Amino acid sequence: MSSELTNIRSPRVKAARRLAKRSFRERDRSFLAEGPQAVREALALDGTVTDLFTTAEAELRHPELVTAARQAGVPVHRASGEVMAELAQTVTPQGLLAVCRFVHVPLDQAVRPGVRLAAVLAHVRDPGNAGTVLRTADAAGADAVIFTDASVDPYNGKCVRASAGSIFHLPVVPDVGVERAVHALRESGLRILAADGSGKRTLDDVDLAAPTAWIFGNEAWGLPEPLLALADEVVRVPIYGRAESLNLATAAAVCLYASARALRRGV
């Protein structure tokens, strides 16, 4: 390992730090994965991690990750606390940060024969919500997550952190038109359900045993009429108590798990 990086203005640090901005991520085709969980999952994908930054304290806490990086031929850079604070996008950095190559796939590769459950994020702007939906889709056994061109960048730092490593687990498609996504999903035999509070039917009333793609909308205003019209059916989550509504991530979890359970029972 080279000597400790202590200069926040060094070219190596600046090259990594600029990946906090989408324009540089797209230019370099790279993004940042912060924290031991994300780094662990990134290292599990051969060729994904191109650089690893670690503090001395983090190396002592997670020697297996540093060893795995070295064995994979990944350059490991020990960074001072000041440099790590400059690189990290969290208030309390955990001392591990990986520079990763983009991991997304084309739409036609993600929406392939045999896909049974998918999530489409339409006009989802909050990166924390988007990353949580991605994590939930992974946990529910979804086959793909599609980010439309009106949604947040899946490589946004907060989105990556909220996914808790799930961005490395399942096919993710970014920046695709919602109509194109719906057409591809329908052509692959999936029924399109829009999750929206305006739905006349609830999850209790819908048979979810068929392959399904769920469309989830904006956190504040849901899905506009043109997007609702693309769906085969608009479905709402039933509210049994006095809460006005559920937030996006919670509603997505309920819908995806309802589909996952129905699909598993049908196997």
pLDDT digits (tens, 9 = 90+) for 164-184: 999 999 999 999 999 999 999
Rounded to whole angstroms, how far apart are CA atoms 147 and 246? 21
Q: Which two tokens stand for residue 248?
A: 């996006």
State the average pLDDT over residues 120-144: 96
Nearest Cα residue to 76 out of 55, 94, 60? 55
Average pLDDT, the chain: 94
The rounded percent of the chain whose pLDDT value lies above 70 is: 99
Q: What DSSP letter does each residue of 94-152 carry, written as one string?
A: -SEEEEEE-----HHHHS-TT--EEEEE-S---HHHHHHHHHHHHHTT-SEEEEETTS-
Q: Which residue has better confidence, 25 or 1?
A: 25
Rounded to whole angstroms, how far apart are CA atoms 216 and 238? 16
What digits encode the pLDDT tens for the residues 21-74?
999 999 999 999 999 999 999 999 999 999 999 999 999 999 999 999 999 999
Question: At the top level of CATH, which class does the domain 107-265 belong to?
Answer: alpha beta
Which pLDDT does position 113 carry in this prediction?
86
H helices then E strands: how many in the chain? 12, 11
Q: Which two tokens stand for residue 199?
A: 């739905």
What digits encode the pLDDT tens for the residues 5-18?
888 889 999 999 99
Rounded to whole angstroms, how far apart are CA atoms 250 and 247? 6
Using DSSP's 3-state secondary structure scheme, residue 19 falls into helix
Rounded to whole angstroms, how far apart are CA atoms 183 and 53? 42
Nearest Cα residue to 258 out of 209, 219, 185? 209
Nearest Cα residue to 110 out of 172, 192, 20, 179? 172
Using DSSP's 3-state secondary structure scheme, residue 61 falls into helix
What pTM did the predictor assign?
0.93
Rounded to whole angstroms, how far apart are CA atoms 2 and 78? 7
- 30-34 vs 96-101, strand pairing mode: antiparallel
Domain extents in the chain: 11-101, 107-265
Rounded to whole angstroms, how far apart are CA atoms 169 and 41? 8
Q: Which residue has better confidence, 258 or 1?
A: 258
CATH 1.20.58.100 fits 11-101, yes or no: no
